[in-house]
Amino acid sequence: MRIQDQVKEHFQFKVVHEDKKSGARAGVITTPHGEIPTPVFMPVGTHGAIKALPPNFLEDLDTKIILSNTYHLHLSPGSKLVKKAGGLHKFMNWPRPILTDSGGFQVFSLQRKSIKEEGAEFKDHKGKTILLSPETSIEIQQELGSDIMMAFDECIPYPATREYTKKSIDRTHRWLDRCIESWTNPKQALFGIIQGSTYDDYRDECLDELVKRDLPGYAIGGVSVGEGPELMEKIVKYTGPKMPKDKPRYVMGVGNPEDLCMIWENGIDMSDCIIPTKFARGGTLFTRRGKIRIRHKNYRRDFFPIEPNCKCYCCQNFTRAYVKHLFDSNEILGQVLATMHNIEFYKNMAEEAREAILDNRYSQWKEDFLKSYKKDDGSKNN
């Protein structure tokens, strides 16, 4: 029996409802570690931890799934150590689903690397030469024991010529076959990644090649790599609705609230990004009226919560003035509270979008959300 057929016993996806006026849809992903209502935004725990938050806080926030990074966990502490500890879930004491990326994007972000048929060669922080190949990427992810693994691919930079893009996607498809050959654990679902840069015909070609492999899920990769919001929207609008309807659709690395509204409208179920947690640690918090930079002098005597109607621990117990004081004093509690709030904001946003989809009012919800939400710094208006 093919591994693709075996995994169906442990991993399922069901579309619950499609909005009648848009392409948005609500679904449920079932994994060995729990169900994930969609659309869902996944916080990024690169090293097996969401920075500034212990796992029980994430459970209190009702986070359904997190993303961890194959490349970084391979470098430290090493996947074999994690496997010996009982897998990543046990190692980090996280009982809910985990998605691991393949390491392809991290290789893309390295200045010094060599992409060849065997895989991607680079030097680690100690100067040791490492070859990350389709086989080693899958081996690492299986040792980590994530619920969803990503196929190893080349994240194509922007801009890219047609010639470069064609060679890259052909190699990525050969790598995908090697990933499938290395995939042995049916409790782990393998998602393929659609590349193709900004070229519609190459996006079509990638999608066709991936669908032939009959994978449990599919992702749009190679966006949010410098192409700008207009081209990102073009790629997602073109590719998203063409992806199989009975499989989860994932856009990798997208996390601005306005971009999430766009991808959900085009039938995307999953996304991830470091934006909410990274911004939180820098003192930028998300609200329905836009971002606020809590270090701004306007908040020194502001005794309102970050978001008046937010139910997170931060907003229920502390004021903007106090959170500003924590950042000004370099107290780590400020980063903890800000991270809590931003994760809650993103979770609430996805939940509201889901409710709107179920009620066939997604387009109106999106319009109302974007009308309220402002891209500029809310410190000038609060």
Domains assigned to the chain: 3-279 (3.20.20.105), 284-380 (no CATH)
Q: pLDDT at position 196, please?
A: 98
Range list of H helices, 240-372: 257-265, 275-281, 313-317, 320-328, 332-358, 362-372
- For residue 379, is pLDDT > 60? no
Task: Say what the pTM is.
Answer: 0.96
Q: Which residue out of 101, 147, 269, 302 is catalytically annotated?
A: 101
Task: Write out the H or E segment, with its range, that includes residue 178.
Answer: helix 162-182
The answer to whether residue 101 is catalytic is yes
- For residue 125, is pLDDT > 80? no
Fill in the DSSP letter of residue 133.
-
| 255: its two tokens | 């996390």
Task: Write out the H or E segment, with its range, that includes residue 143.
Answer: helix 134-144
Q: pLDDT at position 377, please?
A: 47
Binding residues for Zn(2+), as ranges, are 310, 312, 315, 341
Burial level of 297, CB count in 10 A (0-12/13-18/19+)? exposed
Lowest model confidence (mean pLDDT) among 10-14, 110-114, 151-155, 236-240: 110-114
Q: Please state the rounded mean pLDDT for residues 178-185.
A: 98
Q: Closest by alpha carbon to 207, among 222, 190, 219?
A: 219
Between CA 185 and CA 151, with CA 252 as vertex, the angle to 5 degrees is 30
- For residue 382, is pLDDT > 50? no
Q: Read off the pLDDT band of 140 (50, 70, 90).
A: very high
Q: Which residue out of 19, 259, 272, 302 is catalytically annotated?
A: 272
Which has the higher per-residue pLDDT, 106 or 11?
A: 11
Q: pLDDT at position 381, please?
A: 42
Q: pLDDT at position 376, please?
A: 52
Q: Closest by alpha carbon to 39, among 61, 13, 67?
A: 13
Lowest model confidence (mean pLDDT) among 110-124, 143-157, 227-241, 264-278: 110-124
Cα 330 from Cα 22, distance rounded (Å): 45
Q: Read off the pLDDT band of 105 (50, 70, 90).
A: confident
Find residue 99's DSSP bridge partners: 67, 148
CB 188 within 8 A of CB 149: yes
Residue that has been written with the tokens 């409208």 in this structure: 265
Q: Read off the pLDDT band of 374 (50, 70, 90).
A: confident
CB 382 within 8 A of CB 319: no
- For residue 373, is pLDDT > 90? yes
Question: 3-class DSSP state for residue 371?
Answer: helix
Q: pLDDT at position 172, please?
A: 97
The whole-angstrom distance between residue 268's C-alpha and the CA centroid of its chain comes to: 12
Q: pLDDT at position 29, please?
A: 99
For the chain, the C-alpha Rg in angstroms (whole number) is: 21
The answer to whether residue 204 is catalytic is no
Average pLDDT, the chain: 95
Q: Which amino acid is at 49?
A: A
pLDDT tens for each residue of 30-89: 999 999 999 999 999 999 999 999 999 999 999 999 999 999 999 999 999 999 999 999
Lowest model confidence (mean pLDDT) among 45-54, 125-134, 347-356: 125-134
Binding residues, as ranges, are 101-105, 153, 195, 222, 310, 312, 315, 341
pLDDT tens for each residue of 298-321: 999 999 999 999 999 999 999 999
pLDDT tens for each residue of 206-254: 999 999 999 999 999 999 999 999 999 999 999 999 999 999 999 999 9
| 233: its two tokens | 């929207």
Total number of residues shown for the chain: 382
Cα 47 from Cα 68, distance rounded (Å): 6
Q: Read off the pLDDT band of 109 (50, 70, 90).
A: confident
| 103: its two tokens | 């390491």
- For residue 380, is pLDDT > 80? no
The string over 46-80, giving b where at least 16 C-beta atoms fall within 10 Å of a residue's C-beta and e elsewhere, is bebebbbbebebbeebebbbbbbbbbebbbeeebe
**What is the share, in percent, of the chain residues with pLDDT greater than 70?**
98
Q: Read off the pLDDT band of 124 (50, 70, 90).
A: confident
- For residue 378, is pLDDT > 60? no
Q: Please state the rounded mean pLDDT for residues 345-369.
A: 98
Q: Read off the pLDDT band of 375 (50, 70, 90).
A: low
Residue that has been written with the tokens 């196929």 in this structure: 151
